[in-house]
Amino acid sequence: MRTKIETNNVHLHYGDFHALKGINMQIPERTVTALIGPSGCGKSSYLRLFNRMNDLIDGVRIDGKILIDNTDIYAIPQSEVDRLRRKVGMVFQKPNPFPKTIFENVAYGLRVNGLKDKKLIEGQVEKALRQAALWEEVKDKLKKSAFELSGGQQQRLCIARAMAIEPSILLMDEPASALDPISTGKIEELIYELKSNFTIIIVTHNMQQASRVSDYTGFFLLGELIEFDETKKIFRNPEKQQTENYITGRFG
Amino acid sequence: MISFPTQVDRKKRFHQAIAFWIARIISYSILLILFFILFFILKRGIGVINWEFLTAMPSDGMTKGGILPAIVGTLYLVLMSMVIAFPVGVLSGIYVNEYAKEGAIKQFVKMMTNNLAGVPSIVFGLFGMALFVNRLGFGASILAGSLTLALLALPLIIRTTEESLKAVDDTFRHASYALGAGKLRTIRKVVLPIAFPNIITGLILGIGRVSGETAPILFTVAAYFLPKLPHSVFDQAMALPYHLYVISTSGTNIQASRPIAYGTAVILILIVLGMNLLANFVRSHYSRKVKMK
Amino acid sequence: MGRLVERSAEGLIKACGFASALIVLLIVFFLFKEGISFLNSSPVEDHYALFVHSGNPVTQLDEGQIKDLFDKKITNWNQLTNYEYPVVLLTAGDLERLFTPEQLGKNLEYLNACVAHYIDTVPGTLAYFSERQLGLSPAIRIVPVPNISLWKFLSGRQWFPTAQPAAIMGTLPLILGTLLVSLLAILIALPLGLAAAIYLAEIADPRMRNILKPVIELLSGIPSVVYGFFGLVVIVPFIQNLFGLPVGETALAGSFLLAIMALPTIITVSEDAIRTCPIAVKEASLALGASHWQTIFRVILPYASSGITAAAILGIGRAVGETMAVLMVTGNAALMPTSLTQPVRTIPATIAAELGEASFGGLHFKALFALGCLLFLITLVTNLLVERTTSKSRKS
């Protein structure tokens, strides 16, 4: 399998705080990778490196190399960041639809990136909603406000929104943490299906979820990547004592 | 695979640059206009202010002399209105934050004081004239004007009191109750001392506000020209803002009294400036003290 | 003893709380008591009436017609009714000219007879006398003058509160003047204030923000009479020269000045509204490749729209109630506004300018209180609208 994302000795500082300490990782294409670890371990910060979302924060410093498709994404000029972000979609912890209609939420990424062809946009919106398994539920109320959907539907809308511009990577920051078990189940099913088209990285607190949906798992602790391996291996036979302790619920 | 227009990111950047520059230019222009207003008035008025200007009676149809009676009148009004509004406002704030239970009554009191804050100052003037000047028979007097101004300042003081009390952490209250202190004692000995500097900030801002108000005193105190100092609270008086209004619009010789108008405007600006600085000083001085603890 | 003191202190606190809450009601009571008694009263002074020849078929005269008659704009009754006689005015001032003191009698005891005789011989007479002086006789009758109705008060196009014999109190020019000046002010201030709010909340670096914020705060504290003075010495001459007008005191000058005065409120409230947009929503937009500006324009502003609406309504409310600054720069002509470069008069300016001259308890005095009621209602409505829009935004 081709390597999609590669990080070499990545360090991240927020001011004086050393948030990530020399992370090395190689993520193969069209797989699901789960990042686990206790709160504040740096897994979300790590995720946000891949679409340069950390750029927004004052006093942030990044060292090391992060390669996507063999391109160092921190070497590209600021003007190329938008292009990078079209390639790397993101889904957030809580559903965060825009104050717009369902249709316009999904069409947003297409419009802001210069597409005007109505037919094309309609087609992409439908495709994305179908991929997110939401089409049947919303096809008759595309003009309704996105806030009228339930929490689970909103989150799938956000996934559709991210997919509409056809990224190749999907970053998910605890996408089900604010949802009920049934909605969570739907999201997990979705992740499993999306794997055939996307490289997915998912941050999660939920051990079962990581073991259910992911092919690879990385365990973070206090800014370090303790262990990174196939999910089966991590959950059945971890190499490090700390990993085992965390997975079996002995801390965190 | 969809493909995006090749130049789209450059275009986006270009639009952003234009939009941000417009926002920047507008913001700087607003700043510039505001500084221009201050500078324009200060430049023409500051030279007028000297000892005589501050301590002499107006003379020659208010084209010469000083503004002493207006200063004294405003001083009386501010002092008296605050003597009335401050205790009532603070007690009301205590009531709203400490005594009123959540629910209809608290909602009602808050809604009423909120609405009071939105009442235009000229309406206060009408009310003051109907109640204090006529009904209660105070006539146009310092007393009637101070009462009217006190009503105007009341919502401001209630709100700052309420907010400063709200900012006092409940742990202080619980600690005091745990030591066996009653509610009133807790408020008096624990809550009020902590909230006090912020409440004082409200008082200072209230003074700034009251000293510049014209509409409420038009019919309740203000004398057009009265070259003597008031003897009692039942006397009419001149006041700085009204004086500025009069000599800039309807004096005997408007052009000749312009310098006095500029000087009066400067005094009014300096009062507001001074009160703002004082309020900021109290606020920052206090927050530093808390940090040191 | 200590318990008693405590009880009374708590009682005092409660009393103050309630007293403060009741002030609004007290204001409403006094305002409306004076203001409402004004409606349904006659525009003609108490105990006075208009008399005509009993053959004159005119059924009633409203205050506008009365003014036209006394201003000699209506010179013949046929302009009003089916009665071919020229109008001849007769008031107390004409008595000396028409009658000798002997005819009238020492204590005007023959006034009645004199006037009745005069009207009888001059069928076009319109006489204005006290009802006490002039009783009825077969030759003359009183023309009824309809009372002032709420509708007439709100829709009348003329404001001559001191006109004799009948005051004309149509507030439409004042209402329109107020709305014109305030709405234009917000139209100017909203885009500028919004741009500044966007700059402060999204673009400016913290250092610049720390300079701008206190300055804006300070400016909201400057007394309106100082703004009015500035408008008088800078804006008014500027507009006069710019448009080559005979006077610079115009609606436009008022709007400019109010716009400057409304800026601090609009900037502060809009900035707070812009800051309510959750960071995650902002990030979601950026993560889709949108630029910062696209994010502001397409996501953050829609998110803040109800807060920005509240800022605009609040600004309008303040502008409507603003008195001194407007009084000093708008020229105060109570005419129907037809252009921006024409003097106008607003409701608060009318109250401020005229209350000093109105006699206590008189019709004019009450009319000004009715204007105060109108003003109070407008601000009440804006307050409620602001509350509704902000509570709606809090919900979503």
What number is the ipTM of this complex? Answer: 0.93
Residues of chain B found within 8 Å of residue A113, distances taken between Cβ atoms: 4-5, 8
- C178, C347 in Cβ contact below 8 A? yes
**A interface mutation test: which of C209, C274, C288, C298 has the most A CBs within 10 A?**
C288
Segment B230-243 mean pLDDT: 88
Residue B60 has pLDDT above 80, yes or no: no
Mean pLDDT calculated for residue range C284-306: 94
Percentage of chain B modeled with pLDDT above 90: 46
Provide the residue type at C39 as one letter. Answer: L
C386 occurs within a structural domain:
yes
For residue C289, give the nearest of A92, A97, A112 by CB distance. Answer: A112
Q: Does A21 touch chain B (CB under 8 A)?
A: no
C248 plus C374 within the same structural domain: yes
String of DSSP letters for B176-226: HHHTT--HHHHIIIIIHHHHHHHHHHHHHHHHHHHHH--GGGTTTTB-S--
Q: What is the pLDDT of residue C243?
A: 92
Q: Does B4 touch chain A (CB under 8 A)?
A: yes
Whether the CB of C1 is below 8 Å from some CB of chain B: the reply is no
Instruction: Tell which C residues from 217 to 256 touch B, by Cβ distance under 8 Å.
Output: 217-219, 221-230, 232-234
Angle, helix B192-212 to helix C206-221, in steps of 10 degrees: 60
Would you state the pLDDT for residue C136?
Answer: 67
Q: Where are the beta strands (DSSP E) in chain A?
A: 3-14, 17-28, 32-36, 60-68, 71-72, 88-91, 169-173, 199-203, 216-221, 224-230
| C208 and C133 co-located in one domain | no
Residue C165: asked if its preceding bond is cis (omega within 30°), the reply is yes
Q: Which of A85, A93, A98 sits opposite C281 (nearest CB)?
A: A98
Is C391 domain-assigned? yes
Shared domain check, C191 and C121: no
What does the pLDDT average to over B105-132?
88
Residues 69-98, chain A, touching B (beta carbon < 8 A): 79-80, 82-83, 86
**Relative orientation angle of helices B192-212 and B68-94, to the nearest 10 degrees:** 140
Using a CB-CB cut-off of 8 Å, the residues of chain B touching A168 are: none
Which CATH number fits the domain that encloses residue C384? 1.10.3720.10
Does the beta-carbon distance from B4 to A114 stay under 8 Å? Answer: yes
Per-residue pLDDT tens for A134-158? 999 999 999 999 999 999 999 999 9
Given CB atoms, is B1 within the 8 Å cutoff of chain A? yes
pLDDT score of B257? 84
Nearest CB to C289 within list A82, A98, A100: A82
Q: Output the domain CATH number for residue A41.
A: 3.40.50.300
Q: Does a structural domain hold residue A183? A: yes
Q: Which residue has the tokens 């009265």?
A: B226
Q: What is the pTM of this model?
A: 0.89
Question: Is C69 inside any structural domain?
Answer: yes
Mean pLDDT of B51-67: 81
Q: What is the pLDDT of residue B290?
A: 56
Sort strands A3-14 and A17-28 into parallel, antiparallel or unpaired: antiparallel
Q: Which of B74-88, C140-154, C231-245 is predicted least confidently?
A: C140-154
Same-domain status, C231 and C116: no
Query: Which residues in chain A have Cβ-Cβ distances shorter than 8 Å to C298?
Result: 98, 108, 112
Residues of B in contact with C222 (CB under 8 A): 37, 212, 268-269, 272
Say if C21 falls within a structural domain: no
Q: Is residue C159 part of a domain?
A: no
| Candidates B24, B88, B126; nearest CB to C369 | B126
Closest Cβ opposite residue C289 in set A98, A113, A158: A113
- pLDDT score for C1: 57
Whether C211 has a pLDDT exceeding 90, the answer reads no
B236 pLDDT tier (thresholds 50, 70, 90): confident
Contact A90 C284 (CB under 8 A): yes
Of A80, A114, A124, the CB nearest to B8: A114
| Residues in chain A closer than 8 A to C278 (CB atoms) | 96
Chain C residues near residue A107 by CB distance under 8 angstroms: none
Residue of A nearest to C396 (CA): A147
pLDDT tens per residue across span C35-74 = 888 887 888 887 888 888 888 888 888 888 888 888 888 8
Residue C203 touches partner A, C-beta closer than 8 Å: no
Burial class (CB in 10 A: 0-12, 13-18, 19+), C334: buried
Q: Report C:84-113 residues touching B (Cβ under 8 A).
A: none
Q: Do B119 and C214 touch (CB under 8 A)?
A: no
| Contacts across the A-B interface (CB distance below 8 Å) | 28
Q: Which residues in B lie closer than 8 A to residue C31 (C-beta atoms)?
A: 123, 126-127, 130
Lowest mean pLDDT among A223-232, A237-246, C106-115, C320-329: C106-115
B111 residue type, one letter: M
Residue C154 counted as domain residue: no
Q: What is the pLDDT of residues B275-286, one digit of tens each?
A: 988 988 888 887
Which residues in chain B are contacts of A114 at CB distance < 8 A?
4-5, 8, 11-12
pLDDT at A252 over 50: no
Of A113, A120, A166, which has the smallest distance from its Cβ to B8's Cβ? A113
Q: Which domain holds residue C306?
A: 172-395
Q: Is position A252 within any domain?
A: no
Q: What is the mean pLDDT of residues A5-16?
A: 93
Q: What is the mean pLDDT of residues C205-228?
A: 89
Q: Give domain status of residue A114, yes or no.
A: yes
pLDDT band for position B65 (cuts 50, 70, 90): confident
Average pLDDT, chain B: 88
More confident residue, A17 or B223: A17
From B203's Cα to the closest Cα of chain A, the distance in A is 38
**Does pLDDT of C395 surpass 80?**
no
3-state secondary structure of A236: helix
Contact B30, C263 (CB under 8 A): yes
Residues C66-88: tens digit of each pLDDT: 888 888 888 888 888 888 888 88
What is the rounded average pLDDT of the residues A184-201? 90
pLDDT computed for residue A251 by the predictor: 58
| Chain B residues touching C196 at Cβ < 8 A | 23, 26-27, 30
- Output phi, psi for C343, to 5 deg: -65, 145
Q: Does A166 touch chain B (CB under 8 A)?
A: yes
Any domain includes C109: yes
CATH code for position C101 = 3.40.190.10
Ranges C55-59, C234-238, C256-260, C274-278: which has the least confidence: C55-59
B-C C-beta contacts closer than 8 Å: 244
Judge: B219–C356 Cβ closer than 8 Å, yes or no. Answer: yes
C135 pLDDT above the threshold of 70: no
d(CA C229, CA A229): 76
Residue A43 structural domain: 3-247
Tens of pLDDT, residue by residue over C172-202, are: 999 999 999 999 999 999 999 999 999 999 9
Instruction: Report whether pLDDT(C93) > 60.
Output: yes
Query: Is the Cβ pair A112, C291 closer than 8 Å?
Result: yes
C394 pLDDT higher than 70? no
Whether C22 is covered by a domain: the verdict is: no
Q: Is A46 within a domain? A: yes
Q: At what angle do helices B104-118 and C363-395 cross, to 10 degrees?
A: 120
* Residue from A58, B227, A165 nearest C289 by CA: A165
Q: For residues C142-170, b (16+ Cβ closer than 10 Å) or e, as one string?
A: ebebeebeeebbeebebbbbebebbbbbb
Residue in C with minimal Cα distance to B97: C17
- Does C396 sit within 8 Å of A147, measured CB to CB? yes
- When scoring A87, A115, A197 by the number of chain B Cβ atoms within 10 A, the one with the most, hence best to mutate, is A115
What pLDDT shows up at residue C62? 86
CA nearest neighbour of B242 among A250, A247, C112, C328: C328
Q: Say whether A165 and C289 touch across the interface (CB within 8 A).
A: yes
Indicate whether C201 and C141 sit together in one domain: no
The Cα B98–Cα B166 span in angstroms is: 9
Distance of CA C115 to the CA centre of its chain: 41
State the pLDDT confidence band at B87, using cuts at 50, 70 and 90: very high
Distance CA A157, CA A142 (A): 11
Is A96 close to C284, i.e. CB distance below 8 A? yes
Return residues 299-318 of C near A (CB < 8 Å). Answer: 299, 302-303, 305
User: What average pLDDT is seen over chain A?
Assistant: 91
- Do residue C129 and residue C217 come from a single domain? no
**Burial of residue C338 (number of CB atoms within 10 Å: 0-12, 13-18, 19+):** exposed
Give pLDDT, residue B291.
47
Residue C184 sits in the same domain as residue C104 = no
Q: Give the pLDDT band (50/70/90) at residue A51.
A: very high
Smallest Cβ–Cβ distance between B100 and the set C17, C25, C380 belongs to C17
Asked if residue A104 is part of any domain, the answer here is: yes
Query: Could C291 and A90 be called an inter-chain contact, meaning their C-beta atoms sit closer than 8 Å?
Result: no
Domain count, chain A: 1
Predicted local confidence at residue B251, as pLDDT: 65
For the residues A225-235, what does the mean pLDDT come to? 93
Q: Which of C77, C111, C146 is the last residue of a domain?
A: C146
Closest CA to C174 of C355, C382, C317, C348: C348
Report if residue A190 sits inside a domain.
yes
How many domains would you assign to chain C?
A: 2
Does B293 score more than 50 pLDDT?
Answer: no
Give the integer Cα–Cα distance in Å for C118 and B160.
72
Cα distance between residue A111 and residue A106, in whole Å: 10
